[in-house]
Each structure stands twice: as structure tokens, then as C-alpha cells.
């Protein structure tokens, strides 16, 4: 089958790889109908996060169940399903508490970051513990909507919930990539009075504006605006959706005394400086983590079903799976206003 593999820094290829085997009696094989590329894949693409050559990439996909193990009962071959980016076993204490990120059974919980859980940018994917992980899709939900519920919308809702936004709050969202834009849309669900959003790229600011944010190109402009509208106190809540040291520091500076900082940008180097000094006298709540996707799917599905969210509008570009190297380049360089791409294996391309 065809799959997108990491070959080296900024080099991905579409390779012919062996089809996956059923991952035990609790597992399933899903035939992918649509996959996407995430900002997190770019960390691997650029090798800012280590990756083994030959790794099949990707953690965002929807598809149709092709085969299930003997102990699987919730999904059947032929079912359309969403594959969550983050998976668990469903029965260890962490999974039972709703935190598959802490699953003690599975060594690797995110698809496409290591050869031990091959990714979803492929014709087929092996999904362990299918009853717990696979999310059957209602017939009326389009692939494009479901695709963005595999990771970035859950991350947006997680970011907004961690920011504990109350009606009337002033919120700052740093970074208007797909994740920041999902955070803006989800923050709106909690009734803030203002969402200020910061991104140096004009097209991304246009998207943020479309979702109701007041936008800024520089940190100085954003902080001066926040100072003006809050009498110098700063934002009640700040969502960091970039994953850099500079934006972490900015988040801690821009938040008001007693405020909340919610970080979803990935910054996992061990030498990152955390601004404890500026936080110390501000009584800040700081939350950070990897999204536990299944916790958010029920609510997001309802929000999409009732038209409160329209995820597929963010899919600006579509490619066949065979065009993945071009898709990566386009997404990475944001060519032609690229915000989010849809990759379709040949049999699903029209």
C-alpha cells in the first residue's frame, strides 16, 4: 500500500509499504478515506522533534473499518469512523479517568511519531483497542468535518477549557495557525467580551478575524491594546498556540494578576526557560498538555451537527496521497494561503 514516510530533514516520500496487520484481538484495520497534515507533523518534518527514517507519518484521519479482531464489538467492517490522534487501551486507570495520554498499557499513544504506531497518512492504519478508540461517524457528517475533529478541534476546546474563560473575559490567543483558530472558535463558546489574536501572517489574521477576533501582527500592538481595554491589567486568559519560548514568555507577561495561561503549543526541549519570576507575584494558573482527544468528541460532534462549528471550511487545499511531498511543502510554506490540507488515497479521489 501507499504511505507517507519520513526520509530525512524536510524530505517525505510516498513509499510502497507492507499492509498493516490486525493489532491483536482488540484491534482494527481502517481504510483511510481522508487524512490531514498537522503543525505537529512539521516538528518531525523539520526534525525539531526526533524521528526515525521510514516512520509512516500522520495522526489525523477518517476512514472505513475494514477488519476487526475477535474481541471488538462496538465497530464493524463497513463502519465510517474517526481515528483520534491520541489513543489508549481504555481500561488502565488513566484511560478510565479520561486521560489516554497517560495510558500505561500502550507505550506510544500518538500515531505517526514512531515506527511503533505507524501513522495515518497511508491507505490503511492499524488501530489498537478499536472499541475504545474508534469513533463511529453519523452518516450525515462529512469527511472534511470529521477529519478536523481528530486533533485540532479537540485541542482548541481543550485549550479554551484550560483557560477557564468566563462570560465577559478578555482573552488573548497567540498564534493563528489551525490550532490557534480552533482555540478562537472554541473560546467563543464561553462568551468572552474580546478575543485578541496575534499572528505575523496576514492571511492567518484574516481567518482569526472571520472567527470574531481582534487581530494584531506584533506582540507590542497586542499588549498595548490589551493594556488599553483592561486599564493596564492584561488578559484574563491567554492561550499559547505556537510552541516557542518567546510566545510562552509573552503569554506570562500578557496575562493579568489572577489570570490563566493555557499552553497547547508543543515546546518539549529540556532547556526551555520558564518565566517563574514574572509569574510569582501574579497568582497565575498555568496549564499545559497533550490533548486527550476522546474526551471532546461527543461535544464537538454535537456542535458540528447543530451548525455551531463548520470545521471543513478550514480545509483550503486538497491533494491525493501520492502528492504528499507537494502537500507538505505547500502546508509548511503556507503557499497559496494554505491553512489545512486534505490528503486522499487514490480510490477516494474523484
- Asked if 83 and 111 touch (Cβ cutoff 8 Å), the reply is yes
Can you tell me the distance from the alpha carbon of 3 to that of 118, in angstroms, rounded to the nearest whole number?
10
Mask for 265-294, x = binds ligand NAD (CB under 6 A): xx-----------------------xx---
Can you tell me the distance from the alpha carbon of 145 to that of 82, in angstroms, rounded to the nearest whole number?
10
Number of residues that bind ligand NAD (CB under 6 A): 31
CB of 152 to Zn ion, least distance (A): 6
Can you tell me the distance from the alpha carbon of 19 to that of 27, in angstroms, rounded to the nearest whole number?
15
**Minimum CB distance to ligand NAD smaller for 66 or for 151:** 151
CB of 290 to Zn ion, least distance (A): 10
CA atoms within 13 A on the CB side of 202: 1
Residue nearest Zn ion, Cβ-based: 38
**Minimum CB distance to Zn ion smaller for 143 or for 151:** 151
180-199 positions binding ligand NAD, by CB under 6 A: 180, 198-199
User: Among residues 12, 129, 123, which one has the least CA distance to residue 61?
Assistant: 123
The reply on whether position 38 binds Zn ion by CB under 5 A is yes
**Minimum CB distance to ligand NAD smaller for 291 or for 327:** 291
Other beta carbons within 10 angstroms of residue 268's beta carbon come to 10
CB of 289 to ligand NAD, least distance (A): 6
40-69 positions binding ligand NAD, by CB under 6 A: 40, 42-43
CA max distance for the chain: 63
Stretch that binds Zn ion, among 5-13, 143-151, 220-228, 322-330 (CB under 5 A): 143-151
150-179 positions binding ligand NAD, by CB under 6 A: 151-152, 155, 174-179
- Asked if 17 and 307 touch (Cβ cutoff 8 Å), the reply is no
The reply on whether position 55 binds Zn ion by CB under 5 A is no
Q: Which of 241, 303, 327, 342 binds ligand NAD (CB under 6 A)?
A: 241
The reply on whether position 36 binds Zn ion by CB under 5 A is no
CB of 197 to ligand NAD, least distance (A): 9
The reply on whether position 58 binds Zn ion by CB under 5 A is no
User: Among residues 145, 152, 147, which one has the least CA distance to residue 266?
Assistant: 152
Give the pairing of strands 341-344 and 135-136: unpaired
Query: 3-class SS at 25?
Result: coil
Alpha helices in the chain (DSSP H): 39-45, 93-96, 130-133, 143-147, 152-162, 178-188, 202-210, 219-229, 245-254, 276-280, 294-305, 324-332
CB of 129 to Zn ion, least distance (A): 20
**Minimum CB distance to ligand NAD smaller for 10 or for 131:** 10
Give the pairing of strands 60-68 and 80-83: antiparallel
Give the pairing of strands 135-136 and 194-198: unpaired
Mask for 1-30, x = binds ligand NAD (CB under 6 A): ------------------------------
146-165 positions binding Zn ion, by CB under 5 A: 151
- Which residues, in sequence order, are bridge partners of residue 197? 173, 215
Chosen from ligand NAD, Zn ion, none, partner binding at 176 (C-beta under 5 to 8 Å by type): ligand NAD
User: Among residues 234, 269, 216, which one has the least CA distance to residue 49?
Assistant: 269
Q: What are phi and psi of 254, to 5 degrees?
A: -80, -15
The reply on whether position 119 binds ligand NAD by CB under 6 A is no
Question: Would you tell me which residues interact with Zn ion (CB under 5 A)?
Answer: 38, 40, 151
Question: Would you tell me which residues interact with ligand NAD (CB under 6 A)?
Answer: 38-40, 42-43, 151-152, 155, 174-180, 198-201, 204, 241-244, 246-247, 264-266, 290-291
Amino acid at each position: 500500500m501507499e504511505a507517507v514516510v519520513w526520509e530525512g530533514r524536510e524530505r517525505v516520500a510516498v513509499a510502497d509499504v507492507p499492509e498493516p496487520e490486525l493489532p491483536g484481538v482488540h484491534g482494527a484495520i481502517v481504510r483511510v478515506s481522508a487524512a490531514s497534515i498537522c503543525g505537529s507533523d512539521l516538528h518531525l518534518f523539520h526534525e525539531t522533534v526526533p524521528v526515525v527514517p521510514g516512520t509512516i507519518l500522520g495522526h489525523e484521519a477518517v476512514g472505513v473499518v475494514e477488519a476487526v479482531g475477535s474481541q471488538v464489538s462496538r465497530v464493524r467492517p463497513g463502519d465510517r469512523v474517526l481515528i483520534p490522534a491520541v489513543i489508549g487501551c481504555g481500561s488502565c486507570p488513566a484511560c478510565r479517568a479520561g486521560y489516554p495520554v497517560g495510558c500505561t498499557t500502550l507505550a506510544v499513544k500518538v500515531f505517526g511519531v514512531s515506527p511503533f504506531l505507524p501513522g495515518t497518512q497511508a491507505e490503511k492504519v492499524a488501530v489498537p483497542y478499536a472499541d475504545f478508540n474508534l469513533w463511529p461517524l453519523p452518516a450525515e457528517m462529512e469527511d472534511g468535518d470529521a477529519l478536523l475533529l481528530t486533533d485540532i478541534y479537540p485541542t482548541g476546546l481543550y485549550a479554551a477549557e484550560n483557560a477557564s474563560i468566563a462570560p465577559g473575559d478578555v482573552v488573548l490567543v497567540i498564534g493563528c495557525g489551525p490550532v490557534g483558530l480552533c482555540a478562537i472558535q472554541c473560546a467563543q463558546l464561553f462568551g468572552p467580551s474580546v478575543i485578541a489574536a496575534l499572528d505575523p501572517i496576514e492571511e492567518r489574521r484574516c481567518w482569526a478575524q472571520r472567527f470574531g477576533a481582534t487581530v494584531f501582527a506584533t506582540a507590542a500592538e497586542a499588549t498595548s491594546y490589551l493594556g488599553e481595554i483592561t486599564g493596564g491589567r492584561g488578559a484574563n486568559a491567554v492561550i499559547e498556540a505556537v510552541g516557542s519560548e518567546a510566545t510562552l514568555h509573552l503569554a506570562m507577561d500578557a496575562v493579568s494578576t489572577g489570570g490563566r495561561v493555557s499552553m497547547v503549543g508543543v515546546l518539549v526541549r529540556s532547556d526551555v526557560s520558564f518565566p517563574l519570576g514574572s509569574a510569582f507575584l501574579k497568582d497565575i494558573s498555568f496549564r499545559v498538555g497533550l490533548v486527550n482527544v476522546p474526551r471532546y468528541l461527543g461535544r464537538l460532534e454535537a456542535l458540528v451537527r447543530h451548525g455551531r462549528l463548520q470545521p471543513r471550511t478550514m480545509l483550503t487545499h486538497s491533494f491525493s496521497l501520492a502528492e504528499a511531498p507537494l502537500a507538505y511543502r505547500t502546508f509548511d510554506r503556507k503557499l497559496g494561503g494554505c491553512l489545512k490540507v486534505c490528503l486522499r488515497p487514490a480510490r477516494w479521489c474523484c
